[in-house]
Amino acid sequence: MMTYQDTTTPAGGDGPILRCEGITKAFGGVNAVNGATFDVPRNKITALIGPNGAGKTTVVNLLSGAMKIDSGKVQLGTTDITNMERYKIARLGLMRTFQLSRELGGLTVLENLLVAPKVQAGESLFNIFFRPRLLKREERQNLERAVEILRTYGLFDLRDNLARELSGGQKKLLEISRGVMASPSLFLLDEPMAGVNPALIDKIGGYILDMKAQGVTVLMIEHNLNVVERICDNVVVLAEGRTLATGTMSELRENKEVVTAYLGEIINAGPSH
Amino acid sequence: MAQFWFYVFTLVFFLFDYFILAMGLNIQYGETGILNFAYIGFVAIGAYVTGAVSLPNSVGTAQQYIFGFNLPFPFSLLAGGVAAMLLAVVVAAITLRRLRTDYLAMVLISLSLVLYDVINNYVRLFNGADGLYNVPQPMAGVLHLTSNAFVVFFACVTGVISLIMWAGMSRITRSPLGRTFRAIRDDPDVASALGKGVFRYQLTSMLIGSFYAGIGGGLIIQFGGSFNPTAWLPGETFVVFAVIIVGGVGNNVGLLMGALLVETLLIHLPAFLPDIPGHAGLIEYIDAMVIGIMLMVMLWFRPQGIIPERVRHFALPAGELLNRDGHSVEAPPETMNNAASTLSASETHEGDRA
Ligand SMILES: Nc1ncnc2c1ncn2[C@@H]1O[C@H](COP(=O)(O)OP(=O)(O)OP(=O)(O)O)[C@@H](O)[C@H]1O
Ligand SMILES: [Mg+2]
């Protein structure tokens, strides 16, 4: 049975796994994120929706430390992670994927997964030369887990291919499975289903539900409201960098403002990219 | 006859020495993606420090230099390696944290020019433009070697050192550390999103590479007995780049090939040819042209080098060859053979599959 969760979960505590309070980010004159405030409840799948350019990707960049936050506060579990160095945020259990997949092209599919565990004994020069058995054991465990994940994600047969040789859909799968390999407690997915065929959309939906079953909290950006309806427990609507509404999908459908102003627009615009 | 062997073993020395230098640059550039255009500066520091610690105190000699400890080989050589690592710490602290590849490359090239000017003009450091000379030949006195015999002896010593360093480097590049280096090379943003402290790993890679640079430089001054600024014009960095690009970035065996082709056959062999009558020094220029053309041809037609980076294949644990339903899964034959012995990573060449 596959376990996604590390035995130690740094993003501990009770309340919401992530609290995001009034974060802002401006690019020159553009206020890309302008006071977004929302919670991500633990062990749920939360959707982050909103029109193109609403600031969704920027929010993910701010939460994961890829960009500096201008003002506001982000808390992961009980830890304040506002403007913490990104690798430290990752080590606390927050993983993310990129809207345009970013594979490690010169590594094989298998290596893309093997590199993911956050802290490895085999990354220390001392251990490489003086503790070869520890390395071997660790590498074996990682290999077993990576193989299991690759099987689940249907990438097993591609394991020895260089990641840059994969198709777009395969790269999406690789990126998600790489994040899973890193045992996240909170996984931010930036449009995991954009640009993939309908059959794969269902599959990816299944994987995300699977992660939840294994105790991973998911925050996913998604334009396809059918998908949101089916797999997400909660929805955060972002517009012009602000949180417009939060709630379940059916609650939002009853919110006239949201429907007329934004949901309609999203439905009309259809899935992006 | 003795003269002939002197030439041959001089070539052998430079082959192994540049193999070491190429491995050092390769871990930085080929594995970690750090475009270190100051590489030759690290080689020079290794050479100067090795020379200066093995010379006697400079008081009363015709030269001016710091240290002067009479340190015997191989301690003198290790001092050179460590000195290059110290330089790496300083350079990394100034540059690595803030700068991305191309800017980093520009700053590094400027740093190497500054270093060059300082050493060339601040005579009290390493005797300025005259450089260090009369550096004692390691063990020549103890073994009663003639100067020709010393060349043979030291070429072999260098060969042994390069093999040891090759073994060490292979161990590093095959390890999870090497994998993390390559992840950072491919996309530092993804690496840090996976929890890798990119700066720390780049620093580690710089330190390893600089140690190799310093040792390679130290061997040069131990071999020839002298070293001065004409030996490390900043453009020399690109000879080492040519070695790794021609041989194959990311492949240690390729590096040896590159060293053989570029350094031994193209640079040092022609130096032994007689001048073309009436055109003294012409061969040197033709040489530089040939290297330049070769570099362009390689980058155009075979950017992966003569022997490309290996694609790492892993033998899977025995149980993993069965799928969930217990049916055996098709596996390539080489995987089958290694199935019992986990993790003897077999490697094939990317080029063979393309
Ligand atoms: N690095 C950047 N530099 C300058 N402007 C940026 C940058 N990143 C985003 N923006 C701007 O910020 C705004 C929000 O962009 P963002 O990518 O966050 O939107 P999004 O909600 O993810 O949109 P989409 O649904 O199209 O992916 C846009 O106006 C965009 O042009
Ligand atoms: Mg986006």
State what percent of residues in chain A have pLDDT above 90.
76
CA atoms of B108 and B115, how far apart (whole Å)? 10
The pLDDT of residue B296: 84
- Helix (H) / strand (E) containing A187: strand A186-190
CA atoms of B124 and B52, how far apart (whole Å)? 11
Ligand nearest to the CA of A266: 1
In a domain, A202, yes or no: yes
Structural domain tally of chain A?
Answer: 1
Q: Which pTM was predicted?
A: 0.88
Pocket test for ligand 1, best of A24, A31, A56, A193 (most atoms within 8 A of CB): A56
List the alpha helices (DSSP H) in chain A.
56-63, 86-91, 109-114, 125-130, 132-152, 168-181, 198-213, 225-231, 249-254, 256-258, 264-269
User: Cβ of B349 under 8 Å from any chain A Cβ?
Assistant: no
Q: What is the largest CA-CA distance in chain A?
A: 66
Task: Name the one residue in this structure whose structure tokens are 């609507």.
Answer: A237
In a domain, A263, yes or no: yes
Q: Is the pLDDT of residue B326 over 60?
A: no
Average of per-residue pLDDT across B292-315: 81
User: A143 vs B342: CB contact, 8 Å cut-off?
Assistant: yes
The pLDDT of residue A20: 94
What single DSSP character describes residue B60?
T
In a domain, A222, yes or no: yes
* pLDDT bucket at B311, cuts 50 / 70 / 90: confident
Q: Residues B32, B33, B39, CA angle at the centre, nearest 5°? A: 95
User: B176 vs A139: CB contact, 8 Å cut-off?
Assistant: yes
Reference A220, options A231, A258, A111; nearest CA is: A231
Cβ(A9)–Cβ(A185) below 8 Å: yes
Task: Name the one residue in this structure whose structure tokens are 């800017």.
Answer: B103
Task: Give the CA-trace dihedral at A253, A256, A257, A260, to 10 degrees.
Answer: 80
Ligand 1 atom closest to the Cα of residue A273 is 26
- Residue A100 CA to ligand 1 center (angstroms) comes to 13
**Which residues have C-beta under 5 Å from ligand 2, the single-atom ion?**
A 56-57, 99
Residue of A nearest to B33 (CA): A106
- Does residue A26's CB lie within 6 angstroms of at least one atom of ligand 1? no
Q: Which of B194, B314, B317 sits opposite A115 (nearest CB)?
A: B194
Q: What is the pLDDT of residues B238-283, one digit of tens each?
A: 888 988 888 888 788 889 888 888 888 887 777 777 777 777 778 7
**Residue type for position B95:** T
Nearest CA to ligand 1 atom 22: A57
Q: Is B230 exposed, middle or buried, given 0-12, 13-18 or 19+ CB atoms closer than 10 A?
A: exposed
Q: Give the number of A-B residue pairs with CB atoms closer than 8 Å.
A: 119
SS3 B277: coil
- Does residue A269's CB lie within 6 angstroms of at least one atom of ligand 1? no
Q: Residues B182, B184, B188, CA angle at the centre, nearest 5°? A: 155
Reference B259, options B164, B110, A59, B269; nearest CA is: B269
Q: Is B259 exposed, middle or buried, given 0-12, 13-18 or 19+ CB atoms closer than 10 A?
A: buried
Instruction: Name every chain A residue with its beta carbon within 8 A of the beta carbon of B203.
Output: none
We find that the CATH architecture of domain B2-301 is Orthogonal Bundle (1.10)
Pocket test for ligand 1, best of A48, A57, A223, A240 (most atoms within 8 A of CB): A57
- Alpha carbon of A178: minimum distance to chain B alpha carbons (Å): 9
Ligand 1 atom closest to the Cα of residue A33 is 14
CA atoms of B295 and A174, how far apart (whole Å)? 35
The pLDDT of residue B190: 96
State what percent of residues in chain B have pLDDT above 90.
40
* pLDDT bucket at A154, cuts 50 / 70 / 90: very high
- Helix (H) / strand (E) containing A35: strand A30-40
The pLDDT of residue B7: 86
Residue of A nearest to B313 (CA): A160
Ligand nearest to the CA of A272: 1
**Could you tell me which residue, B29 or B317, shows the higher pLDDT?**
B29
- Alpha carbon of B278: minimum distance to chain A alpha carbons (Å): 51
Q: Residues B163, B167, B169, CA angle at the centre, nearest 5°? A: 110
Q: Is A256 exposed, middle or buried, given 0-12, 13-18 or 19+ CB atoms closer than 10 A?
A: exposed
CA atoms of B41 and B237, how far apart (whole Å)? 8
Q: What is the pLDDT of residues A53-112, one digit of tens each?
A: 999 999 999 999 999 999 999 999 999 999 999 999 999 999 999 999 999 999 999 999
Nearest CA to ligand 1 atom 25: A52
ipTM score here?
0.90
The pLDDT of residue B55: 87
Ligand 1 atom closest to the Cα of residue A272 is 25
CB hemisphere CA count around B281 (13 angstroms):
0
Pocket test for ligand 1, best of A24, A30, A96 (most atoms within 8 A of CB): A30
Reference B210, options B12, B52, B23, B1; nearest CA is: B23
User: B342 vs A115: CB contact, 8 Å cut-off?
Assistant: no
Q: Is the pLDDT of residue A204 over 50?
A: yes
Which B residues 191-210 touch A at CB under 8 Å? 191-198, 201, 204, 208
In CATH, what number is assigned to the domain containing residue A104? Answer: 3.40.50.300
- Does residue A27's CB lie within 6 angstroms of at least one atom of ligand 1? yes
User: A95 vs B314: CB contact, 8 Å cut-off?
Assistant: no
Q: What does the block give as tokens for A140?
A: 């074996």
- Alpha carbon of B146: minimum distance to chain A alpha carbons (Å): 39
Nearest CA to ligand 1 atom 18: A55
SS3 A255: coil
User: Chain-wide mean pLDDT for chain B?
Assistant: 84
Instruction: List, in order, residues 6 or more apart from A207 with CB less than 8 Å away.
Output: A152, A153, A176
- Alpha carbon of A29: minimum distance to chain B alpha carbons (Å): 25
User: Cβ of B251 under 8 Å from any chain A Cβ?
Assistant: no
> In chain B, where does the domain assigned CATH 1.10.3470 lie?
2-301
CA atoms of B43 and B236, how far apart (whole Å)? 10
Q: Is the pLDDT of residue A3 over 50?
A: no
User: Chain-wide mean pLDDT for chain A?
Assistant: 89
User: A160 vs B313: CB contact, 8 Å cut-off?
Assistant: yes
- Does residue A32's CB lie within 6 angstroms of at least one atom of ligand 1? yes
Q: What is the pLDDT of residues A232-268, one digit of tens each?
A: 999 999 999 999 999 998 888 888 777 776 666 555 4
- Does residue A56's CB lie within 6 angstroms of at least one atom of ligand 1? yes
User: B316 vs A147: CB contact, 8 Å cut-off?
Assistant: yes
Domain that holds residue A148: 18-269
Region of residue A124 (left: phi > 0; alpha: psi -120 to 50; beta: else):
beta
Q: What is the largest CA-CA distance in chain B?
A: 83
Three-class SS string for B89-150? HHHHHHHCCCCCHHHHHHHHHHHHHHHHHHHHHCHHHHCHHHCECCCCCCCHHHHCCCHHHH
